[in-house]
Amino acid sequence: MSTRLSLLCVHGVGHAEIDAGFQQSWSAAITRAIESVDQAVQLDIDFVLYDDLFDKAPLNPLTYAAASAKLLASAVAHGLTDLLTGARGITDIPAVIKWTAGMVAQWSTDEQLREDLRQLILDKIEGKTYDVVLAHSLGSLICYDTFLHDNDAIKDAVFVSFGSQIGNPAVRDVFAGRIKPLTCRKWYHLYNPVDHVLTYPLGIRADNYQQVTVSFDVPNDALNHDATWYLSHTSTVATVWHDAVPAPASRGIVSAAREMASLAVKPSRRALLIGINDYPDPASRLEGCVNDVFLMSAVLQESGFEPEDIRIVLNDRATTQGIMDRLHWLLDGVRDGDERMLFYSGHGAQIPRYNIQGEPDHVDECLVPYDFDWSPAHAILDRQFAELYSQLPYDSYFVAMLDCCHSGGLTRDGGPRVRGLSPPDDIRHRALKWDATERMWVPRDFTPLNRSLKDRKNGADFLGQNGATQRLGRAMMLRTRPDKDYDKTRKELDHFGPYLPILLEACQEQQLSYEYRDGVTSYGVYTYSMAATLRELRARGENPSFNTLNDLVTAKLRRMRYNQTPNLVGAKVRCNAPVPWGRSQGEAPAKTAAQAGPTTSSRRPRKTERKRAPAAKKTAKKK
């Protein structure tokens, strides 16, 4: 008996991308793919055309240009430079990508255009039931936006996004920094890692969502964005088309099996501990970082972590790629109730960054891997890090403890050993300008990443004192819209913005993080104090809140006479809740509200807590 399958196809960027025969080529690719699964299936294929709405929409040149620049910058960051050896400016970007960026920018900056496009899609599906909606490139943005605003539009259908810009950080601002699951039977996101047309993977956690890697390399086409290659790929056949063809009864059995499998998964703990002493440059080497890792591993195991749930990476194995691979182990597949802990002990740094026009425009905080060379390619930046944590479930715990600083420092013999690197003069020059009046070098005045957030009382905790620093763990590349617009959008879409980890930082932005020698054994003074404080509390059967723990560690550093004030950043409700590590594996966490993005506040000791404690006899010296 034959099965009828009804499909709605939404093309990608128009004009330059499609031709008069695109509907025929799509239909042929779909037909061949489905016939490989079941030749008896009868197909009903419809298309949506929307270019005329873009042609009619007015342009705001300033906002349009800014959005285009952001998108093109993301293209370079995502690997386009591999195609453009030696490229330095916006004129080097291929025409197809510039055209794509232009239309996506127009869509992202024009609310009326987005509303008209949503209505176009809804009018098309009104009165007709589609089994599958296929959306390519810009079409995937239009469809996702439509179905996000109308939850029931395709509740019984399969949605397929491919060659998609939905996950691009420059686009996610439209959705207030977070990509929510859709209310549909299944969402497949087809991702080609070498598709260079502003595409990104999507780290969505939902039982009805699946990302499918469809790697292909089109001959004589360096962009690898062709829709028919996505639709006919063997991985697409094995997932999308095999799922779309079966009868509803069999689909129900598969769905029930998936639900039972998800219920069988228990909340889990994992910890990744990174320590680097032996940097290649002898002048940059540290002493206590490896000891810190073993100390924290012991404390975590005393607090309920199992040895097999802790991974460490040390010294020359802690390369950029080595750290990123292990971050995937730590953060991929996190579910509600799961606990994750990242600990880093080593150097921190700041890298002035260029925009797409080749001009310095902001500063990136970074962790310094073993193969660090003052380039973004060999640094752990928040841009990559946020792709792993920003989509975590709100009811999961992710704590990042960073024993480093980003202000640089002295490592000369006889001076304090500091966990931060000062940039070479050519790197430092990027962030400076010559003041002819004073005849001195002064910092450049970079444009704030988010002026409304910079003006908040705690704005520096997210953007730095200059308002233009991409700070680790703050997901600010997903939060560039003004606060009022951002809050309005996330309320409309019913979410809290990007997930933010609880950050335990060794010092304030402009301070230094020091090492401490305990007899003949070196540690980071922050890590040593944290471990000692936790052990004292555990011995008394106490499980503090993060706020209390931060205050106690700060007081200990004061008693030890270190000019170093730890910083705590996170959602208030989480920071006031007990540290989760004190519980046994099966015990439920304290009930907390969801993380609320940059509405969270940092925690510094109150004025009474900042007073210097009575001097204690110092038995060890800083080094």
pLDDT score at 386? 92
DSSP 380: E
Split at pLDDT 50, 70, 90, the class of 123 is: very high
Higher pLDDT, 243 or 358: 243
Write the pLDDT tens digit of every residue in 52-63.
998 888 777 766
pLDDT at 619: 35
Q: What is the pLDDT of residue 454?
A: 84
**DSSP code, position 5:** E
* DSSP H or E segment with residue 554: helix 546-559
pLDDT for res 451:
85
Q: Which tokens belong to 181?
A: 């699951």
Contacts of 39 (CB under 8 A, 6+ apart): none
Cβ distance 125 to 156 under 8 Å?
Answer: no
CATH of span 269-610: 3.40.50.1460
Q: Whole-angstrom Cα distance, residue 314 to residue 345?
A: 10
Determine contact, residues 142/108, Cβ cutoff 8 Å.
no
Between 66 and 395, whose confidence is greater?
395
**CB neighbourhood size of 116 (10 A):** 15
pLDDT mean over 68-89 = 49
Give the per-residue pLDDT at 79.
Answer: 43
Please give the structure tokens belonging to residue 321: 């790629």
Query: Which of 13-27, 265-279, 348-362 is predicted least confidently?
Result: 13-27
How much is the mean pLDDT over the chain? 84
Average pLDDT over residues 200-218: 93
Predicted TM-score (pTM) of this structure: 0.83
Q: Is the pLDDT of residue 593 over 70?
A: no
Name the least confident of 58-67, 83-92, 431-440, 465-474.
83-92
Average pLDDT over residues 163-180: 91
* Tens digits of residue pLDDT in 478-507: 888 888 999 999 999 999 999 999 999 999
CB atoms within 10 A of CB 6: 16
The proportion of the chain whose per-residue pLDDT surpasses 70, expressed as a percent, equals: 80
Residue 82 banded pLDDT, cuts 50, 70, 90? very low
Q: Rounded mean pLDDT of 315-329?
A: 96
Residue 302, pLDDT score: 92
What's the pLDDT tens digit per position in 510-521?
898 999 999 889
Tell the residue number behind the tokens 């006919």, with chain if given.
Answer: 232
Q: Which of 307, 501, 281, 496 is nearest to 385 (CA)?
A: 501
DSSP one-letter string for 329-358: HHHTT--TT-EEEEEEES-EEEEEEE-TTS
SS (H, E, C) 265-309: CCCCEEEEEEECCCCCCHHHCCCCHHHHHHHHHHHHHHCCCCHHH
Helix, strand and coil percent figures for the chain, each rounded to 5: 40, 20, 45
Q: Which residue has the higher pLDDT, 617 or 31?
A: 31
In the predicted structure, residue 139 carries a pLDDT above the cut 60: yes
d(C-alpha 556, C-alpha 561), whole Å? 9
For the chain, the domains span: 4-263, 269-610
* Per-residue confidence (pLDDT) for residue 354, from 0 to 100: 73
